[in-house]
């Protein structure tokens, strides 16, 4: 569960980012300003990663760091899904695509089933009006879980930067007026 705290454990995803960047703990410690011992402890979930250190870690581990970033966003903020890292699913693009398709269908069906409740004014909602919207939220989270991980695995499989791909897409969303431009 998301901790919504100022520090979290994320050792396996930190280890993945370190491996993807072919960085040694000694090199990483110099880049982020932590001791080698602390880096070792963070990799093995014996010490927490501080929220203030996230930009330094991501800058020091720029290549294929999307799983580390996803896990940190999930654990620190709690409004996005975690990394799919369970034992009962293959961690590769095709497996994510296979899992994503039915989840998207279920999410679309849940949206369709909720349309009548979504048009009721808030003050007129009755207790039974919440069932379909709750299912909509659950099904959409399932779809987002697999979609986000599908994007991450495709980016890794094709050596694309997930963050760069998102920045490019954001330009379209700005242009289309879907999102407002944000200061960096």
Average pLDDT over residues 59-71: 96
Report which secondary-structure segment, H or E, holds 18. helix 11-20
- The predicted-structure confidence for 19-33, as pLDDT tens digits, reads as follows 999 999 999 999 999
Nearest to 81 by CA among 20, 178, 17, 150: 150
Mean of per-residue pLDDT scores for the chain: 94
28: helix, strand or coil: helix
Q: Which two tokens stand for residue 4?
A: 């919504």
Q: Which two tokens stand for residue 58?
A: 């991501």
CATH of domain 7-76: 1.10.260.40
Is the pLDDT at 105 greater than 70? The verdict is yes
Is the pLDDT at 5 greater than 80? The verdict is no
4 pLDDT band (50/70/90 cuts)? low
- The predicted-structure confidence for 48-59, as pLDDT tens digits, reads as follows 999 999 999 999
Tell me the CA end-to-end span of the chain in Å, nearest whole number: 29
Nearest to 11 by CA among 36, 47, 60: 47
Q: Which two tokens stand for residue 40?
A: 């070792």
- The predicted-structure confidence for 115-156, as pLDDT tens digits, reads as follows 999 999 999 999 999 999 999 999 999 999 999 999 999 999
> Helix-strand-coil percent breakdown of the chain, rounded to 5?
65, 0, 30
How many helices, marked H, and strands, marked E, lie in the chain?
8, 2
Residue carrying the six token digits 């709690």: 78
Cα separation of 11 and 41, whole Å? Answer: 8
- The predicted-structure confidence for 149-172, as pLDDT tens digits, reads as follows 999 999 999 999 999 999 999 999
Cα separation of 66 and 54, whole Å? Answer: 13
Is the pLDDT at 3 greater than 50? The verdict is no
Spans of all domains in the chain: 7-76, 93-175
Q: Which two tokens stand for residue 11?
A: 């050792």
183 pLDDT band (50/70/90 cuts)? confident
Which pLDDT value is given to residue 148? 97
Is the pLDDT at 73 greater than 60? The verdict is yes
């Amino acid at each position: 569960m998301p901790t919504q705290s100022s520090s979290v454990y994320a050792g396996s995803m930190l280890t993945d980012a370190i491996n993807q960047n072919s960085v040694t703990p000694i090199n990483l410690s110099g880049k982020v300003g932590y001791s080698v011992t602390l880096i070792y402890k963070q990799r093995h979930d014996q010490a927490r990663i501080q929220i203030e250190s996230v930009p330094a870690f991501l800058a020091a581990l720029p290549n294929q760091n999307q799983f580390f970033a996803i896990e940190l966003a999930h654990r620190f903020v709690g409004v996005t899904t975690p990394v799919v890292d369970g034992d009962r699913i293959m961690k590769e693009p095709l497996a994510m695509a296979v899992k994503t398709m039915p989840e998207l269908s279920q999410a679309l069906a849940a949206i369709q089933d909720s349309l009548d409740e979504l048009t009721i004014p808030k003050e007129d909602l009755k207790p039974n009006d919440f069932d379909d919207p709750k299912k909509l939220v659950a099904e959409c989270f399932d779809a987002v879980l697999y979609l986000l991980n599908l994007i991450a695995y495709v980016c890794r499989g094709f050596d694309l930067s997930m963050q760069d791909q998102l920045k490019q897409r954001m330009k379209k969303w700005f242009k289309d007026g879907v999102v407002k431009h944000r200061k960096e």
